[in-house]
Chain A
Amino acid sequence: MLANIDLAYWLPVIFAGLMVVSMFAYVILDGYDLGVGILLELEKDTSEKDKMIASIGPFWDANETWLVLGVGLLLVAFPLAHGIILGELYLPVALMLLGLILRGVAFDFRVKAKAHHQAMWNTLFFVGSLLAAVSQGVMLGRYITGFAEGWGAWGFAMLVGLSLAAAYALLGAGWLMIKSTGSLQMRAVRWAQFSLGFAALATVLVSVATPWISPRVFALWFSVPNVFLLAPVPIFTAVLFAVIAYSLPRIAARQAQGNDRWCWLPFAATVGIVLLAFFGLVFSIFPHLVIDQLTIWQAASSTEALSIILAGAAIVLPTIFGYTIYSYRVFWGKAGELSYQ
């Protein structure tokens, strides 16, 4: 039975799948903590800022690891594509790394630095988060257009960059609604309303611009019967946006009475939107790694190397899921003051 399976065909598919899963995990997980970083600038009260950071304290490090796994899989499973893609994305990658470094260290420095330096580290945390979010979006935008040159393509990439920052802010606000209480929770609802508009606008613009820029994607989505089969994707996305918009004022009203039910709904709905966006993206690109240039099979490592990695991944990935869930359970519930206790 197993001997009949064409490993040279399936291993690259499996690794492409794992890569999508880890990128999705990254966008959701680091997305919310980058979002909290972006929202940090909107909060003026220092102790409220501390609470915001406390809500992501135990998690941000592990969250970022998904990026290392995603890029690592690209590196180890598709070395040819890794070189091409990261070579093309040299500048946004460098800026993203700058952002991630700044926020990563600011997170730690801000609680340890002298009081009069704290404001600087808070600002760097915000700047780093925003820079990382926007450059990731720019990378995505550059990638979607197949690294096309010219003002139009770069303008589009900037647009995607801002969209992603808005989506992260929405995730971050949703996260804070779950993890906080009182006035911070109320403010999180306001921030969600604010970023919701931006995220929705950005989603529409990106959805229109992508097929407009790539004829292949246009043909893929707007041919019969695909146009009908795929219709649920934009429809469900719109429904989820509507659910968030409808629920936010009601959650605010309920919270005012001390009722915390449904506080998780905006976050869950945002995860759904990101999931749909991922589906749309993967559907548009697969089986290419570099659009219209390089397929997953052309870029893959040798079957032997992939088998070795897969054997390890099959044991380790479930373990990672296990202890990630354990860690979230340990820190379940509202975030308190962050202390090394």
Chain B
Amino acid sequence: MSPDVASSLLDPIVLARIQFAANITFHILFPTISIAMGWILLFFKLRFNATGDQKWQEAYGFWVKIFALTFALGVVSGITMSFQFGTNWPGYMQTVGNIAGPLLAYEVLTAFFLEATFLGIMLFGQKKVSNRVHTFATLLVAGGTTLSAFWIIVLNSWMQTPTGFEMINGQAHVTSWLEVIFNPSMPYRLTHMLLASGLTAAFLVAGISAYRWFIGQRTNAVLAAMKTGVALAAILIPLQILVGDMHGLNTFKHQPAKIAAIEGIWETERGAPLLLFALPNAETRSNDFAIGIPKVTSLILTHELNGEIRGLNEFAEHPPVAKVFWSFRVMVGVGMLMLLTSWLAAWQLRRTNTLSPLVNKVLIGMTFSGWVATVAGWYVTEIGRQPWLVQGVLLTKDAASHVGSGMILSTLLMYLALYVFLLISYVSVVFYLAKKAGQPAGEH
């Protein structure tokens, strides 16, 4: 390691950012599943109520366990977040606390308690309450997780496209709550995130069901869950591509520097190509080994073949290009795979009521593909906003705390070790549960 790199690694701001990035990366994995999984469980429950077919009850019984596990990891890693605002970014709340405060408060007040309390009834109360109350508890948990996502995305969108406030003595004061909540990027960001959650949960359900099918658990319940997952994925992915495109247009309007980084455009140009591959080079301020399709980026963003796209050189402050550029391509690439896989699987299931061995294996391989796409997309959004914490209002470095590097580094290593351990445990327990579900009761 060069002395340069070593000293920058000991920079408390860099460390605080790595630590925070590690925490949100770990955290987001679980809400991404649980938001949509809540609704999938409600669907199973409602199907069972309507048809009385035991397979839906079985599907509910299996997936509610995975939901509980996911939820627990989401809660504990979320608690970590609420503390780290203070420990790592004291300047954040001191500057925009008047806006972030009420939004976070509403998240805890309206969503957190609702889901946490009714989760108990949903998980352990099936025999203690009537079926109707149990269905209602499932609905409340699903609604609670979604409401939670709503408030968090509102706050995040406001950090990207802040409106409805004025700065007085270095502190943000609200002038219109409507403008704060319905800020320009919120509808796109929220829809994009909810669809991402739907896709992540759909591929998890399809992938684990395909695994159970593969190891011989060919029951009606497994097939029903697999069909649900595949159908959901096949329906949601074109929607997601459409919404993603609209979200991109919105970003082009409000955060042009982020778009320039996503597309790897250094100089302002007309008829910008869509780069399929390139190594953005921050030193020469150009791309190495660029391969692109001419004019397509201009076409997508301006709906004109020769539309003008502003380049990075026009912005005094712009995000680190390579990270944003590649995160975006990972997200889109996984999205394309999702489109292919889900449509192929849906077609096969419709025609033959089963999967070919190859598609079956691909589905298993894509069990956690939603995670990859979501995390990559999240990086595009969050790194794409740098060096700002709140676009145009607060620089990330101005919000950092004065805690020493040693302290941040040691806790960072502790968190990383913990997260790796928990992630491995989570994935192996999910597969273990799937394997165990096939054994008759009493043998495990």
Contacts and interface: CB of A to CB of B under 8 A. Distances in A.
Interface of A: 57-59, 61-62, 64-65, 67-69, 71-77, 79-80, 82-87, 89-91, 93-94, 97-98, 100-102, 104-105, 107-109, 112-115, 301-302, 304-305, 308-309, 312-313, 316-317, 320, 323-324, 327, 330-331, 338-341
A69 B94 CA distance: 19
B305 interface: no
Contacts of A317: 109
13 contacts: A57-B123, A65-B112, A74-B86, A75-B85, A76-B105, A93-B83, A94-B415, A105-B76, A109-B69, A112-B432, A113-B429, A304-B174, A309-B102
B235 interface: no
A297 to B, nearest CB: 15
B75 interface: yes
Interface in B110-130: 110, 112-114, 116-121, 123-129
Given A79-B94, A83-B90, A98-B414, A112 B101 contact: no
Interface in B84-116: 85-87, 90-91, 93-94, 97-102, 104-106, 108-110, 112-114, 116
A97 B86 contact: no
Contact of A76 (B68, B101, B113, B118): B101
Given A87-B90, A112-B432, A304 B98 contact: yes
Interface stretch (B350-358, B373-381, B399-407): B399-407
Given A93-B83, A98-B418, A331-B125, A305 B76 contact: no
A84 B79 CA distance: 19
Contacts of B68: 108, 340
Contacts of B102: 76, 305, 308-309, 312
A69 B82 CA distance: 10
Mostly helix, strand, loop or mixed at chain B's interface? Answer: helix
Interface of B: 61, 64-65, 68-69, 71-73, 75-80, 82-83, 85-87, 90-91, 93-94, 97-102, 104-106, 108-110, 112-114, 116-121, 123-129, 171, 173-174, 177, 401-403, 407, 411, 414-415, 418, 422, 425, 429, 432-433, 444
A160 B87 CA distance: 22
Given A301-B101, A304-B173, A62 B429 contact: no
B97 A79 contact: yes
A62 B119 CA distance: 9
Given A109-B69, A330-B121, A62 B94 contact: no
Given A312-B109, A313-B109, A320-B113, A61 B119 contact: yes
Contacts of B65: 112, 340
B72 A108 contact: yes
A57 B414 CA distance: 28
